[in-house]
Amino acid sequence: MRIDVFSIFPDIVDSFCAESLLGKARQSGLLDLQTHDLRDHTHDVHRTVDDTVFGGGAGMLMRPEPIFDAIEAVRPPRPLILVGPGGDRFDQS
């Protein structure tokens, strides 16, 4: 099984996934986990992946361009699962 993870901290994802059952699955060849740095798909000198909130207010949000460019760079296209803070909770039902 191949899983592609897109993150601004790919080294943290790699080190986390090197341990526990995920690490064992990778070593045995059951899991092919690839991490991709979203900053590699930016178009400015500062490698910016976040933007200010529309309409003002506190906080930051992710720019869509680096996310879409990173996803499109992974070939061939695969099923895509996007998670966000406003989504439904994953459970067994």
The predicted-structure confidence for 13-57, as pLDDT tens digits, reads as follows 999 988 889 999 999 999 999 999 999 999 999 999 988 887 777
**DSSP-assigned states of every residue in the chain:** -EEEEEES-HHHHHHHHTSHHHHHHHHTTS-EEEEEEGGGG--STT---EEEPTTS-S-EEE-HHHHHHHHHHSSS--------TTSPPP---
Residue 90, pLDDT > 80, answer no
Q: What is the pLDDT of residue 76?
A: 76
User: pTM for this one?
Assistant: 0.77
Q: Which domains does the chain have, with CATH numbers?
A: 2-73 (3.40.1280.10)
Residue 75, pLDDT > 80, answer no
